[in-house]
Amino acid sequence: MGRVTQRAPVTRVDVSDPAAPRVVQRPDTLAVEEPMEMRVDGSALTVTMRTPGDDFDLTLGFLHAEGMIASADDVTRLMHCLDTDESGAPTYNVVDVTLAAGVALPEKRTRSFLTTSACGVCGTASIEALRTTSRYAVAEDRSHVDPAVLAGMPGLMRGAQKVFDRTGGIHAAGLFTSDGTLLIVREDVGRHNAVDKVVGWALREGRLPLVGHVLVVSSRASFELVQKAHAAGIPVLATVSAASSLAVELAEDVGMTLAGFVRPPRLAVYAGADRLLAAQEIQAAGSATRGEVIAGMSHSMPHSMDRRTG
């Protein structure tokens, strides 16, 4: 398996005294970013930039999010091809997928699958097509999550981010039960890859649809994260930063709860506040900032949660 981190020289500059900057040279630990090609039944499907590790879960999660497989049973074999680098050492950067008999990729694909660690829907041909890929009616999941419990989930996930502790430069996705129990954390340079790794794990474990679960991601809430959570049947998505307009629109359309700026003791609910608050609490919010709550109480956005910090 490829390395998750590597050492590299770095020059650190301390300008506490602008007239005499302090310069120190020493090695630092970096998160590895390498390409991984997915091949299905011998044909190349996509190349994604990712952090090596949990590659099979990443592959399964990606295929499921794209509507190409319904369960882990749709795949009979996952294996790393023995590709090598210039020195002849294996890179483990190609995953070969063999589909089960009777399972085939859709003849018409709505997306171009060249992805980077920054963008999960690059080359999208039809946003409307992505809205309808989920097999699960998330809007019918009426599970409830205590807002105070939700606010504490990023901290619990942060405690399990081992690679972030070493590099400071990697995203994480964590899957929780509605009572705040942390089930799994996956890390990757790409936030969408981290989510695919979590969903791929759940797929292998036979847990889909993830009714009554919460997905927490250490990034902003973008459209592709809502889409991936929806495809896995997850009713609640929480992120530590802001949400994009399209993410909010999709969450509202499919009946998901979307919360951003989840940093104790505050969180901002962009969609599906009824899973967190009672109807009377939502009504009592009145004309306050839309969807924002502090453990069930509505408040205006403090400076510490300004979008410039996301």
Give the C-alpha separation, 91 to 35, whole Å. 10
Q: What is the mean pLDDT of residues 178-202?
A: 97
Name the residue ranges covered by the structural domains of the chain. 34-131, 138-309
| Mean pLDDT estimate for the chain | 85
- pLDDT grade for 134, boundaries at 50, 70 and 90: low
- Number of helical H runs and strand E runs in the chain: 8, 13
Give this prediction's pTM.
0.84
CATH topology of domain 138-309: Cytidine Deaminase; domain 2 (3.40.140)
**pLDDT score at 1:** 47
pLDDT at site 112: 47
CATH number for the domain running over 34-131: 3.10.20.10
Please confirm, yes or no, whether 122 is among the known catalytic residues: no
Pairing state between β 236-239 and 257-263: parallel
Catalytic residue among 47, 103, 119, 183: 119
CB atoms near residue 48 (< 10 Å): 24
Q: What is the pLDDT of residue 91?
A: 82
Sign of CA dihedral 138, 139, 144, 147: positive
Tell me: the pLDDT tens digits for 26-50?
899 999 999 999 999 999 999 999 9
> Tens digits of per-residue pLDDT, 61-91?
999 998 899 999 999 999 998 777 778 888 8
State mean pLDDT over 168-181.
96
